[in-house]
C-alpha cells in the first residue's frame, strides 16, 4: 500500500523549494508522483507551489481523470502523463519556469556541451522541444522525441520539465540545468565561454557510464563523435527552431572547421571580385 501522505508531503516540500528558488512565480509549475500503475498524485490548479499542503494534492488516473481531492488537478497534467506512459521507470515529473533555463527556451538557443564536468555527467545533451499551446495534448506530445534520451527537457517559449525515480531526483535535474544556464550567461557577460577538449568530454561520458547513469552517447554509434558538433538532438533543431551561436564554438569542433572553410571561401571570393573590379577600372582608364 503506497504511503500517500509521505508522497504528498514530498511534493509540497519540492513545491516550496521551487517557489523559494524563483522557479515558479505565483501559481506557475506543477508536480506529479506516480503511486501505482494507474494512479498519480498531482498538484492543484491555480495554487502557489510554495504554499500547497498535502490536503490540496489531487489523485488522478493515467488519462487525467480526477479520482480524489477537493481541488482540481493542474491543467498541464497531460504533459506529466505522457512522460510516465513513455517511461515506466519515471515516478515523478516536475514542470516549472526556472529563469535562466527559460531564457534559453525563449531564445531557442542550444545548450552547449564540454563546459562544466558536472553537466556532462548529470545532464549530457539537453533538448529543446518545439512550442505548442500549454495544457493541450499537442503540447504534452512535444516531449516524445526526447523523453527516452534525456531526463530534463527545455520547452520552447515556456520553461522546463524534468523527471526521475523520485520527486527529489526529478527536481535535481532542473536545478542543475538552471545553475548551468546562469553560469553560461554570466560567462558571456565577462566576454566568452572556453570549452574543454572533445577528448576530455568523452572521458566524462565514460565516467558517467561507470557510475551507472544512462546516456544516449553510450551508444556505440556515437563513439569518436564530436561532442559539440554531433549533438544527439541536432536533427530536431530545424523543426523546433533551435539555433546555436551565442556562446561560440570550440576550436576543435568540426563545426568550427566548416565555419573556417566557409570563411576562407568567402574571403577568396571577395578577393577575386575585387581583382575583377580593379581590372575593369584599369581598362576603363586606358580607354579614356
pTM: 0.87
Tell me which of 27-41, 85-99, 242-256 is least confident.
242-256
Residue 261 pLDDT: 46
CA–CA distance, 222 with 216 (Å, rounded to integer)? 8
CA–CA distance, 103 with 247 (Å, rounded to integer)? 14
Question: What's the farthest any 2 CA atoms get from each other in the chain?
Answer: 100
| Greater model confidence, 257 or 130 | 130
- The residue-averaged pLDDT of 4-30 equals 97
Residue 254 pLDDT: 65
Going along 22-82, which residue ranges are E strands? 30-36, 39-42, 58-60, 66-68
What digits encode the pLDDT tens for the residues 195-217? 999 999 999 999 999 998 889 99
Q: Which three cell numbers stand for residue 264?
A: 576562407
| Greater model confidence, 125 or 224 | 125
Q: What percent of the chain has pLDDT over 90?
A: 77
CA–CA distance, 96 with 105 (Å, rounded to integer)? 12
| Class of residue 194 by CB neighbours under 10 A (exposed 0-12, middle 13-18, buried 19+) | exposed
Q: Which three cell numbers stand for residue 282?
A: 584599369
- Position 255 pLDDT exceeds 70: no
pLDDT-based confidence at 135, cuts 50/70/90?
very high
pLDDT-based confidence at 253, cuts 50/70/90?
confident
- The residue-averaged pLDDT of 248-272 equals 62
Helices (runs of H) and strands (runs of E) counted in the chain? 9, 8
What digits encode the pLDDT tens for the residues 94-133? 999 999 999 999 999 999 999 999 999 999 999 999 999 9
- Position 60 pLDDT exceeds 70: yes
- Position 157 pLDDT exceeds 80: yes
- The residue-averaged pLDDT of 68-77 equals 96
- The residue-averaged pLDDT of 52-59 equals 97
pLDDT-based confidence at 1, cuts 50/70/90?
low
Please calculate the CA angle 34-38-42 and round it to the nearest 5 degrees: 40
What digits encode the pLDDT tens for the residues 24-43? 999 999 999 999 999 999 99
pLDDT-based confidence at 256, cuts 50/70/90?
low
Residue 61 pLDDT: 98
CA–CA distance, 46 with 269 (Å, rounded to integer)? 60
Find the helix packing angle between 167-190 and 4-20, rounded to 10°.
10
Amino acid at each position: 500500500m503506497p504511503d500517500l501522505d509521505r508522497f504528498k508531503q514530498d511534493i509540497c516540500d519540492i513545491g516550496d523549494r521551487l517557489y523559494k528558488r524563483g522557479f515558479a512565480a505565483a501559481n506557475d509549475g506543477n508536480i506529479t508522483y506516480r503511486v501505482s500503475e494507474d494512479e498519480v498524485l498531482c498538484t492543484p490548479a491555480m495554487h502557489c507551489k510554495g504554499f500547497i499542503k498535502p490536503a490540496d494534492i489531487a489523485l488522478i488516473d493515467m488519462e487525467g481523470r480526477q479520482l480524489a481531492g477537493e481541488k482540481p488537478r493542474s491543467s498541464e497534467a497531460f504533459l506529466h502523463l505522457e512522460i510516465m506512459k513513455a517511461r515506466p521507470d519515471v515516478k515523478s515529473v516536475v514542470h516549472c519556469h526556472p529563469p535562466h533555463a527559460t531564457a534559453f527556451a525563449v531564445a531557442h538557443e542550444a545548450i552547449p556541451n564540454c563546459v562544466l564536468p558536472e553537466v556532462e555527467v548529470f545532464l549530457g545533451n539537453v533538448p529543446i522541444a518545439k512550442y505548442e499551446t500549454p495544457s493541450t495534448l499537442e503540447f504534452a506530445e512535444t516531449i516524445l522525441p526526447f523523453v527516452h534520451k534525456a531526463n530534463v527537457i527545455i520547452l520552447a517559449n515556456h520553461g522546463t520539465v524534468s523527471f526521475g525515480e523520485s520527486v527529489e531526483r526529478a527536481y535535481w535535474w532542473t536545478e542543475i540545468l538552471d545553475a548551468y544556464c546562469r553560469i553560461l550567461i554570466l560567462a558571456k557577460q565577462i566576454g566568452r565561454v572556453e570549452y574543454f577538449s572533445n577528448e576530455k568530454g568523452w572521458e566524462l561520458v565514460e565516467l558517467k557510464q561507470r557510475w551507472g547513469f544512462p546516456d544516449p552517447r553510450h551508444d556505440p554509434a556515437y563513439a569518436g563523435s564530436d561532442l559539440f558538433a554531433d549533438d544527439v538532438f541536432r536533427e530536431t533543431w530545424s523543426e523546433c527552431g533551435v539555433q546555436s551561436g551565442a556562446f561560440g564554438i570550440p576550436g576543435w569542433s568540426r563545426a568550427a572547421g566548416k565555419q573556417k572553410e566557409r570563411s576562407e571561401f568567402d574571403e577568396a571570393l571577395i578577393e577575386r571580385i575585387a581583382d575583377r573590379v580593379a581590372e575593369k577600372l584599369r581598362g576603363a582608364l586606358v580607354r579614356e
